[in-house]
Amino acid sequence: MKPRDPQKIDRIHQATLSLVLEIGLAGLTMSKIGKAAKVGMGTIYTYFASKEEIINSLYQSLKRKHAEEIYVNFDETQSFLANFRAIFDIFFQNCYHQAAEYFFLEQCRASPFLSLDSIVLEEAAFARMNALLDEGKAEKVVKNIDNTLLIGYLMGGVQGFLTQLRRTDAELTQAHIDAALALCLDAIKR
Amino acid sequence: MKPRDPQKIDRIHQATLSLVLEIGLAGLTMSKIGKAAKVGMGTIYTYFASKEEIINSLYQSLKRKHAEEIYVNFDETQSFLANFRAIFDIFFQNCYHQAAEYFFLEQCRASPFLSLDSIVLEEAAFARMNALLDEGKAEKVVKNIDNTLLIGYLMGGVQGFLTQLRRTDAELTQAHIDAALALCLDAIKR
Amino acid sequence: MKPRDPQKIDRIHQATLSLVLEIGLAGLTMSKIGKAAKVGMGTIYTYFASKEEIINSLYQSLKRKHAEEIYVNFDETQSFLANFRAIFDIFFQNCYHQAAEYFFLEQCRASPFLSLDSIVLEEAAFARMNALLDEGKAEKVVKNIDNTLLIGYLMGGVQGFLTQLRRTDAELTQAHIDAALALCLDAIKR
Amino acid sequence: MKPRDPQKIDRIHQATLSLVLEIGLAGLTMSKIGKAAKVGMGTIYTYFASKEEIINSLYQSLKRKHAEEIYVNFDETQSFLANFRAIFDIFFQNCYHQAAEYFFLEQCRASPFLSLDSIVLEEAAFARMNALLDEGKAEKVVKNIDNTLLIGYLMGGVQGFLTQLRRTDAELTQAHIDAALALCLDAIKR
DNA sequence: CATGAATGAGACTTCATTCAT
DNA sequence: CATGAATGAAGTCTCATTCAT
């Protein structure tokens, strides 16, 4: 599949994203995607073999994007704390501001559409976070708990925190961010 | 006349639970529910007005059940720590052992099936947990962060932790429980 | 089929009549009939073999009732005109005041529920009307047109007249009755 | 791209017409329509939003067609009698030869499918007939009865006449037409 | 005999995918 | 290659009839 207009892939992805935020993954239909992306319904099949493939490719591309973004301020020469904070900040901000993307991922997580390689993908993103946590453990500032579990706990915690924050319709303030960081840091502190 | 059999409501709920664990909420169909519950498809409509109603009534009944179970070992005469631990233990165990129930709730959370009163229900369960956290704040052992956010963080954390634990196919050990409790306690500790 | 409580047959017939007026023959269901007749849905099957049978038996009973009623003021010793007027009056009044019955018959007329013997029944009612028209023809006051066609024309005419009258929401006055009679009499007058 | 085929609307309408004549409005199903129109069942929904819409759009289009056809030989320069006869002839012929269309309308008339705007439509068709009757009244050849009622009577009469004619399986002859016209003319004659 | 819960065939409608233009 | 009309399998829900109480 070598389509001419790679920009259409983006349009289809973006349409999918907005639609899922609006009507849920279960409400997503091909014709709605086509209309939202301003692309003929049949054209979609030039770029994607099926509805499943749209979802999985978007899922994977978001996962990869997030994995990269998170490390954007990562600096190996900096301290554990500085790097943890750098990662935390971006993750927190992204979860909050790119809610549509996180919502999409959340919807997919438990859906029957997700293919195996999408599920497996998960781990890859954590490589540097793993290393950082190992560093923390070596410095005796991080609890000696399996990294995977630590990461799961931290991400779940932040997302649960933000889920409630959104539910209260409160504005996001620096105090919120500080609070969440404090929770995360104290949690893993040895 | 054959009396309206209240046990069938349970059978339908149970069937729904197993099916969602197996095939996801999106894969759920009325005829599958009927077959799994050993009930004619039409019979379901004697007890529930629609598929949506099955999902919402199960959602609410699970929410209520979980809300009660969590406080089963709660004892107002005990210390903050003892009660926190009591609640934590049951929540952790339930998340782990009644995974189907938690998975169902998770699937619903972002689904277009959930009605407003199901979404609103959420809060009720947290009354005693709220009081407990207030107590902890009064004793200056809990951070001064909005209870709702604290609870969101803790629940999200535990569930993220267990999600990863399940992914690794590791057996649940006391060490895991201790680790998770330590994360939670240290997180909220002032 | 020798049911104990013949009054239930009436209740079922009456319920059917009201329901059809309200929701149309197509909206008629067995459970609605049961509820309206205050009779268990299953009980209906003690008195009628099927929904079709309810409709057909009611259809036939109404047909017979109407056929009898129409001649209630018929008096063989009276003149053609007196008898025609007697018949006309009752037919007109019935069409107007027992609209539910006529509406039911109209709904049935073209329905797939009507059995052959119900359709055939039609003719029976016209025996005396036939004789009356023959008398009129002998007296040279009635056009020499096939009786069946004459009767069809007259009944259709009156019903069309009343359909429009009802549509205008006008009250029924003696003037209306006189007008309709004049139309009918002049129509058939030789 | 295959253009939206306006001829399919006709095929669907025609199929509906034949089917209702054959199996009644109550026996009409979407899959039967599809099969009869040689169109995939789903295709129907490209042209009509629902079964109800098929029925209503056909109903309205027939109403409009009949309203136009009836006046095809109408000529304002002609006498009342000539125009009445012209209208009568076509109405009579149509009722007889396009029985399926009239049968469909009759079935709809009392059905729960008919929408409000379909019901309202009725009146429009009678504008010129109204004027003609007024002319007749001015010429003192038509009874002084409300036009709506007159029209209802005449149409009902003709249809009742033809209903019986069809029932007898007799061939339509000029004598029948003359007879019916005589009935109608004498009826309204002052 | 009375009841209404139980049943499943079949109704309407949606939608992923194909195909004619 | 782009398009959206066409398709029919499959989904939700209804309802005439049966059956257990």
Q: At B40, phi and psi to the nearest 5?
A: -60, 145
Mean pLDDT value of segment B16-45: 93
SS3 B5: coil
Cα separation of D190 and C183, whole Å? 10
pLDDT at C123: 65
Mean pLDDT value of segment D19-26: 88
Average pLDDT of the residues of chain C: 92
Residue A1 has pLDDT above 50, yes or no: no
pLDDT at A169: 86
Q: At A169, phi and psi to the nearest 5?
A: 60, 20
Q: Is the CB of D156 under 7 A from strand F?
A: no
Radius of gyration for the alpha carbons in chain A, expressed in angstroms and rounded = 19
Question: Is A146 in contact with A123 (CB distance < 8 Å)?
Answer: no
pLDDT at D1: 64
pLDDT at C1: 46
| Inter-chain Cβ pairs, chain C and chain D, closer than 8 A | 130
Question: Is B30 in contact with B41 (CB distance < 8 Å)?
Answer: yes
Residue C178 has pLDDT above 80, yes or no: yes
Reported as a single tens digit per residue, the pLDDT across C8-50 is 999 999 999 999 988 888 889 999 999 999 999 999 999 999 9
Q: What positions of strand F are covered by protein, i.e. any atom < 7 Å from a CB?
A: 1-21
Q: What is the DSSP string of C162-178?
A: HHHHHHTTPPP-HHHHH
Start-to-end CA distance of chain C, whole Å, equals 51
CA angle D5, D7, D8 (to 5 degrees): 75
Mean pLDDT value of segment B82-102: 94
What is the percent of chain B where pLDDT is above 70? 97
B174: tokens are 């006391």
Q: Which of D159, D179, D188 sits opposite C145 (nearest CB)?
A: D179
Q: Is the CB of C93 under 7 A from strand F?
A: no
Contacts of B152 in chain A (CB under 8 A): 160-165
Reported as a single tens digit per residue, the pLDDT across D44-82 is 999 999 999 999 999 999 999 998 899 999 999 999 999
pLDDT interval class at C89 (50, 70, 90): very high
Q: Which residue lies nearest E7, CA-to-C1' measured?
A: B40
pLDDT at D27: 87
Q: Is the CB of B67 under 7 A from strand F?
A: no
Between A116 and C3, name the one with better pLDDT: A116
Mean pLDDT value of segment B5-26: 92
* Record: contact D156-C161, CB cut-off 8 A: yes
Contacts of C169 in chain D (CB under 8 A): none
Mean pLDDT value of segment B56-81: 93
What angle do the packed helices D80-97 and D147-167 form, to 10 degrees?
40
Contacts of B150 in chain A (CB under 8 A): 183
Residues 161-180 of A with CB under 7 A from strand E: none
Cα separation of C74 and C63, whole Å? 18
Mean pLDDT value of segment B108-114: 80
pTM of the model: 0.85
Residue B3 has pLDDT above 80, yes or no: no
Query: Closest Cα to residue D58, out of D97, D23, D29, D18?
Result: D18
Residues 40-99 of C with CB under 7 A from strand E: 40-43, 45-46
Residue D3 has pLDDT above 80, yes or no: no
Lowest mean pLDDT among A2-11, C81-90, D6-15, D59-68: A2-11
* Record: contact B112-A156, CB cut-off 8 A: no
Residue in the block written with tokens 């399926």: D100
pLDDT at C179: 98
Contacts of A88 in chain B (CB under 8 A): none
pLDDT at C2: 53
- Helix, strand and coil content of chain B, in percent to the nearest 5, comes to 75, 0, 25
SS3 A142: strand
Query: Closest Cα to residue B62, out of B34, B94, B27?
Result: B94
pLDDT interval class at A113 (50, 70, 90): confident
Residue in the block written with tokens 């025996």: C127
Closest nt by CA–C1' to C42: E3
pLDDT at C125: 73
Reported as a single tens digit per residue, the pLDDT across A23-75 is 888 889 999 999 999 999 999 999 999 999 999 999 999 999 998 899 999 99
pLDDT at C3: 59
Cα separation of A179 and A57, whole Å? 35
Nearest CA in chain C to D19: C112
Residue in the block written with tokens 């993954």: A25
Reported as a single tens digit per residue, the pLDDT across A128-174 is 999 999 999 999 999 999 999 999 999 999 999 999 999 888 899 99
CA angle B83, B86, B87 (to 5 degrees): 90
Reported as a single tens digit per residue, the pLDDT across D116-172 is 888 888 766 788 999 999 999 999 999 999 999 999 999 999 999 999 999 888 899
| Inter-chain Cβ pairs, chain A and chain B, closer than 8 A | 130
Distance from CA of A59 to the nearest CA of B (A): 16
